Structure 1
Amino acid sequence: MIHLPRVRQGPLRALGVRLALAVSLVLFVVTVIYLDRDGYRDVNEDGLTLLDCFYYAVVSLSTTGYGDITPTSSQARLVNVLVITPCRVLFLIILVGTTLEVLTDQYRNSLLISRWRRKLKDHVIVCGYGTKGRAAVAALLETGYDKSKIIVVESREEGLRQAASHGLVAIEGNATRSSVLLDADVKNCRSVIIATDTDEASVLITLTVRQLTAGQVRIIASVREQENAALLKQSGAHHVIVSSATAGRLLGLTTTAPPLIDVVEDLLTPGQGMALAMRSAERAEVGQNPRELPTLVVALIRRGKVLPLGGEHVVTIETGDLLVYIRDENSTVGIAV
């Protein structure tokens, strides 16, 4: 099941809107009848009062029709055909609004999903919306990634609610199943982020994605134990993040070199201090030493490989290189050397 982000109307408000529409419709019909009251005849033959108009409007709209008040003139009968009858149908639709709303919601949801699928391309699939999944989505949004191109695959009801509340498209189901990944259009996605709670699930999802996409989609997976990292890479994951090893190393740095952990936290905390960023090398920078640039370049990526910048060997920028630099979150430029 696909859950598109949407703003839902409260039940009391929906009921109030329907009640207001029904009352407005009755008042409209009463006004029409009262203005043309000379064209109606009742059993007493003493003319229609305002109360008689209300009475006739209610029994007509509710399709009761006792027949004690009837239109006699041609104009009144024409008004009944062109105005009262459509209002009667509309009034019945309002009365059965709950059933109609369900049918309308189903049609609207199908229409929205159809439009969403037509526009879906180069998206990111996040399998699991726990702590790691939410952090991964937050990192994507930090870099300016379009929220509409992020799809969450989650089987837990709590995770689905959180994804919907954050304005994300959520697909309910187990990401290890091919049908669920196909619903997320895994064959046309840009990458798959696997942030499940168990290493076993991560391996199964990786194998399923590789089978469906023939290895054409980038897979980034997270595992708890270091010993499972090699298994994930053999299964087809391009990048593997070992959460336990990373956390342990940060704990060790905190003990032996406390200032280092402050720098790492500053780099990883969004919206403040420093942040890692990446951009393509500009034409004017080709042939220069990355260390001589105004921004602090910490790594250079060439054809998917990270080139060291330290030591005696001088690395110069080539066309197509990617520069990893430290950006000041409080400004639009990188930190100067």
Structure 2
Amino acid sequence: MAKLRENTLTLVSLPRIVESPFRELTRRAVLAMLILLASTLIVYLDGDAYSDNVGDGVSFIDALYYSTVTVTTTGYGDITPVAPHARLLNAILITPLRIGFLVLLVGTTIEVLANEGSRSIRDSRWRKKMRNHIVVIGYGTKGRSAVNTLRRQGEAPESIVVIDSKESAIADANFDGLAAFLGDATRRDLLRRAEVPKAREIVISLDRDDAAILTTLTVRQLNPNANVVVAVREHQNVPLVKQSGATSVVTSSETVGRLLGLTAIGPDLGAIIQDMLTGGEGLEVHQRQALPTEVGQSPSAVVGERVIGVIRNDTLRRFYDSTVARIETGDQLIVVRRAAPADPQTMQPLVD
């Protein structure tokens, strides 16, 4: 099954790929042949009850011929049931077999081909319009939390693409309204189908550090300009991930350990940090463009928010930096503000 899945063209937003359409058509064709065989045996075993225009009796070939023209509704009429019981058997057995044959072979074949064609068309249209999007590789606890944060920051779900090797994760991503691909993120063909070379942001949140490193290498080769954020478990792997091409690296175990230490020192201190990391309640950290009315003001003069950093000329400056005594046009502000409750469907703040 794994080998079959690798050979199957991966399409977007497909939470479950079981088997190829050709295998499905083959299975249905075998069932159709079984129906034809059953009809042939019924006629052959009761050959004396049938009349052949040639007059030499009904052989197995004649029975096969009769069944073929009957189940396909051709019906030449050169072989006909003459005995009452044979006509009754045709009514209660051969006719249902004929209907089943047509539904199975014709109806379902058209359905399978139509569905596959529709999926391919949707996949092609989706790929053509995807530009400057966000690719999230790994839709576990970390990946899902990252997506929720992105959506709370204003990213539309249509601009987020998920890649994961687990069918359950793909189903969850589709349920959350996201396009998703099932497969190994180290495969170049899969990354290209997810339009990674055209992505603006790439988030890698895999369970294993070695897989994250290999994925980072592959992603960076396909897209030299994207912002690549990688989560790793162990701090000693951070330099290797950065050498692989990551823009930023988050150490999950160290971050959790630091939060545990802060909470041990002061429960309220840990509560505040966790509060800012939890979306939809208490405080939240947000990045936004400086408003025209804020240009020329001191960061401390911003109303309703606390400015803790200013991004100017692609450089982060902390609030205590003397070079950001005044907000300038084009500045990006990193603020701490009161969290607005989010819409459970869109994950967008109800009040901004």
TM-score (norm. length: structure 1): 0.70
Counterpart for residue 188 of structure 2: 178
The change in CA–CA distance for 1:333 and 1:289 in structure 2 (over 3 A counts) is farther
Letter in structure 1 aligned against 2:316: V
Aligned to 1:33: none
Percent identity for Structure 1 against Structure 2 = 41
Tell me what 2:237 maps to. Answer: 228
Residues in 2 aligned to 1:136 and 1:246: alpha-carbon distance in whole angstroms: 15
Structure 1 segments of 4+ aligned residues over 3 angstroms from their partners: 61-66, 92-96, 311-314, 330-334
**Does the 8 Å contact 2:317/2:324 carry over to 1?**
no
Equivalent residue, structure 2, for 1:204: 214
The answer to whether the 8 A contact 2:14-2:170 is kept is no
| 5+ residue gaps, structure 1 | 7-58, 67-91
In 2, the alpha carbon distance for the partners of 1:165 and 1:311 equals 44
- Once the two structures are TM-superposed, the CA of residue 63 in structure 1 deviates from its matched residue by 6.1
Residue 265 of structure 1 corresponds to: 274
Amino acid in the other structure paired with 1:111: I
Larger relative CO (CA 8 A, sep 6+): 1 or 2? 2
Question: Do residues 99 (structure 1) and 97 (structure 2) align?
Answer: no
- Structure 1 residue 144 and structure 2 residue 162: aligned? no
For residues 161-189 of structure 1, give each alpha carbon's deviation from its aligned partner in whole angstroms, at most 9, with x where no partner exists.
22222222111221112111111111111
Contact 1:93 1:100 in 2 (8 A): no
Q: Does the 8 A contact of 2:310 with 2:324 survive in 1?
A: no
Q: Aligned equivalents of 1:3 and 1:333: distance in 2?
A: 33
CA deviation string 1:97-152 (max 9, x = no partner): 32221111101001111111121111111111111111111111212211122111
Work out which of the residue numbers 184, 203, 218 in structure 2 matches 1:193.
203
Q: Describe the shift of the 1:312–1:147 C-alpha distance in structure 2 as closer, same or farther (beyond 3 A).
A: closer
Matches within 5 A, 1:61-210: 96-210=106-220
Equivalent pair of 2:283/2:338 in contact (CA under 8 Å):
yes
Whole-angstrom distance in 2 between the partners of 1:320 and 1:115 = 35
Give the secondary-structure state (helix, strand or coil) at the position aligned to 1:310. Answer: coil
- Cα distance 1:171–1:255, how it changes in 2: closer, same or farther (>3 A)? same
SS in 2 for 1:193: strand
TM-superposed CA distance for 1:330, in Å, is 3.5
- Code of the residue aligned with 2:198 in structure 1: it is N
Distance 1:161 1:153 in 2: 11
Deviation at 1:2, TM superposition (A): 2.1
The CA distance in 2 between the partners of 1:312 and 1:121, in whole Å, is 38
For residue 251 of structure 1, the aligned residue among 250, 260, 263 is: 260
Task: Provide Cα deviations, 1:234-264, integer angstroms capped at 9, x if missing partner.
Answer: 2111111000100000000110011112112
Query: What is the DSSP-based 3-state SS (H/G/I as helix, E as strand, rest coil) of the residue aligned with 1:306?
Result: strand
CA contact (8 A) 1:2 1:169 kept: no
Which consecutive unaligned segments of at least 5 residues does structure 2 have? 1-9, 16-69, 78-101, 342-349
Q: Deviations over 1:70-115 (max 9, x none)?
A: xxxxxxxxxxxxxxxxxxxxxx679843222111110100111111
Shift of residue 64 of structure 1? 5.7
